[in-house]
Amino acid sequence: MGKRDDLIEKYADDLKQKCKIDADMALLTKVTIACGPSIYNRDSSTVSGSSTTELETVRNNFVMKKLGVTDADKAMAGVNAAIETYGKSNRTKYRAVIYYLLTKHFGKESVFK
């Protein structure tokens, strides 16, 4: 297995252990690929759940631009729901897992087909 495959397995394990969700592996793989090279960088591979600026960036660049959610308040509520699902107490929140949770939350799986 390659490095990306190892990371996808780690993300699936996080979804199962921390979020109590059995991952749709095909969707998780596509979301991970869409994250691009950021998954290999320690800082950019994670999302800070306590940083308002970072959460707004996730809302603007992923939820609104990539997923096409037009209501900013609804988009931010989704971001907050994803952080809550992941668990605020978990220090490491992987970007690919957050993006997967957001994709499922908004029912936008078709974006990655």
Q: How confident is the model at residue 91 (pLDDT cuts 50, 70, 90)?
A: confident
Please tell me the pTM assigned to this model.
0.95
The pLDDT tens digits for 2-12 are: 899 999 999 99
Determine the 3-state secondary structure of 38 from DSSP: helix
Written as one letter, the residue type at 64 is M
Helix (H) or strand (E) holding 80, with range, is helix 72-86
Q: How confident is the model at residue 89 (pLDDT cuts 50, 70, 90)?
A: confident
Domain ranges of the chain: 3-112
The pLDDT tens digits for 15-66 are: 999 999 999 999 999 999 999 999 999 999 999 999 999 999 999 999 999 9
Q: CA–CA separation, 86 vs 88, rounded Å?
A: 7
pLDDT at residue 1, as a whole number: 66
Q: Which two tokens stand for residue 67?
A: 């997923």
Neighbours of 45 (CB within 10 A): 18
CATH fold label, 3-112? Recoverin; domain 1 (1.10.238)
